[in-house]
Amino acid sequence: MAKSKFEYVRSFESEEYLLPNCWIVVRIDGKSFHKFSKKHDFDKPNDPRALGLMNKAASIVLEEYKDILIAYGQSDEYSFVLRKDTQLYNRRKNKLMTYINSLFSSSYVYYWRDYFKDVKLKYPPSFDSRVVLYPTDQNLRDYLSWRQADCHINNLYNTTFWALVLKGGLTTQEAEQRLCGTLSSDKNEILFKEFDTNYNNEPFIYKKGTILLRKKIKHPIKDKNRLVVIPLHKDLIQDDFWTRNSEILDI
Ligand code: ATP
Ligand code: ATP
Ligand code: MG
Ligand code: MG
Ligand code: MG
Ligand code: MG
């Protein structure tokens, strides 16, 4: 086909190829979900419908992109980890980031009704995304540990905050003031003494977030292994998780 005289503009395009041998992490995060969660009456501090929908959208992404070895989600965010030797889209940054983000976003909308039933989706949500490269296994572990520690810190804060508001009758401003400068131990104590709540007994999905992993499952009749995506709500900071799931870092 003859080239048009306009074709030269393509040379203005640039392409970033992600450094070889590095773990590729794509993290997406909901835009203004503080507002989105209010507009759609999410339960506070944790709406299980919203977490279920996030996990569903993420598992659609894992079904599509087999080079994602592990994903971690909490609140309105999800991190997808691609194997370090992936050649998917020749490691083109824009392709990887935009395909993962848009498949996640459209799945969030597509499956909305399965989780929220007759709660109407009031406007189209959107998500930002970024790509980060981690050169060592320790860097990757520290990254995931950072996100899970963030989940814990926020959840302890939010659980205490909403106990003060919903059960303690404080205004949101008063609750914020009450918690200003408190340590983890202070929040645990408020929950225990004032609200008869032992934070340790809160659901693991709230305290730890969700890890999506691929696991080999033996077919019950045919002697064939099938890879399925399974959710875990466990600690990934300690070594135990990585020894039990040693295939992740061995790949
Ligand atoms: P930004 O656009 O900068 O990300 P944001 O409002 O989305 O702003 P985040 O720090 O991402 O801010 O926080 C997400 C917010 O979404 C939480 O603070 C919480 O209010 C709300 N949220 C997310 N998931 C849930 C959930 N499952 N249940 C209740 N609230 C949730
Ligand atoms: P890639 O993932 O590489 O973009 P693609 O199949 O999307 O692959 P494109 O070059 O983007 O390839 O072409 C889009 C194709 O989508 C068109 O060739 C056409 O077949 C189809 N298509 C898009 N819009 C329409 C439309 N409005 N009516 C009919 N067909 C359409
Ligand atoms: Mg943010
Ligand atoms: Mg957000
Ligand atoms: Mg967030
Ligand atoms: Mg196309």
Q: What is the pLDDT of residue 104?
A: 99
Q: Give mean pLDDT, residues 147-157.
A: 98
In a domain, 171, yes or no: no
- 46 CB less than 6 Å from ligand 1? yes
pLDDT tens per residue, range 155-207: 999 999 999 999 999 999 999 999 999 999 999 999 999 999 999 999 999 99
Q: How far is the CA of 58 from the centre of ligand 6 (A)?
A: 22
CATH (domain of 212):
3.30.70.3000
Q: What is the pLDDT of residue 220?
A: 77
Question: Is the pLDDT score of 223 beyond 80?
Answer: no
Read off φ and ψ for residue 184, nearest 5 degrees.
-55, -45
In a domain, 164, yes or no: no
- 205 CB less than 6 Å from ligand 1? no
The most distant pair of C-alpha atoms in the chain lies apart, rounded to whole Å, by: 78
pLDDT tens per residue, range 80-118: 999 999 999 999 999 999 999 999 999 999 999 999 999
What is the 8-class DSSP label of residue 48? H
- 206 CB less than 6 Å from ligand 1? no
Q: Give mean pLDDT, residues 204-219.
A: 94
Judge contact between 78 and 16, C-beta under 8 A.
no
Judge contact between 147 and 79, C-beta under 8 A.
yes
- 80 CB less than 6 Å from ligand 1? no
Q: What is the pLDDT of residue 157?
A: 98
In a domain, 186, yes or no: no
Number of domains in the chain: 1
Tokens 């959710």, located at residue:
231
Kindly state the percentage of the chain with pLDDT values over 70: 100
- 51 CB less than 6 Å from ligand 1? yes
Pocket probe for ligand 1: among 28, 47, 76, the residue whose CB has the most ligand atoms within 8 Å is 76
Is this complex scored with an ipTM above 0.90? Answer: yes
- 32 CB less than 6 Å from ligand 1? yes
Q: How many residues would you count in the chain?
A: 251
Alpha-carbon distance 117 to 52, whole Å? 13
In a domain, 8, yes or no: no
Q: Residue 209's domain spans which residues?
A: 16-149+204-250
In a domain, 215, yes or no: yes
In 95-169 the beta strands, taken as DSSP E runs, fall at 127-134
In a domain, 196, yes or no: no
Q: What is the pLDDT of residue 92?
A: 98
State which residues have CB under 5 angstroms from ligand 5, the bound ion. Answer: 29, 75-77
Q: What is the pLDDT of residue 222?
A: 77
- 53 CB less than 6 Å from ligand 1? no
Alpha-carbon distance 173 to 152, whole Å? 22
Question: Is the pLDDT score of 224 beyond 90?
Answer: no
Beta carbons within 8 Å of 28's beta carbon, 6+ residues apart: 77, 78, 80, 100, 101, 104, 105, 127, 128, 129
- 37 CB less than 6 Å from ligand 1? yes
Q: How far is the CA of 44 from the centre of ligand 1 (A)?
A: 11
Q: What is the pLDDT of residue 106?
A: 99
Question: Is the pLDDT score of 1 beyond 80?
Answer: no
In a domain, 219, yes or no: yes
In a domain, 126, yes or no: yes
Assign 221 a pLDDT band (cuts: 50, 70, 90): confident
Q: What is the pLDDT of residue 236?
A: 98
CA-wise closest residue to 31 among 126, 129, 154, 131:
126
In the predicted model, what is the mean pLDDT of the chain?
97
| Cis amide bond preceding 45, omega within 30 | yes
Read off φ and ψ for residue 17, nearest 5 degrees.
-100, 125
CA-wise closest residue to 145 among 213, 234, 230, 243:
234
Which atom of ligand 1 is found nearest the CA of 49?
27
Judge contact between 212 and 62, C-beta under 8 A.
yes
Question: Is the pLDDT score of 214 beyond 80?
Answer: yes
Q: How far is the CA of 68 from the centre of ligand 5 (A)?
A: 21
CA-wise closest residue to 70 among 152, 141, 126, 154:
141
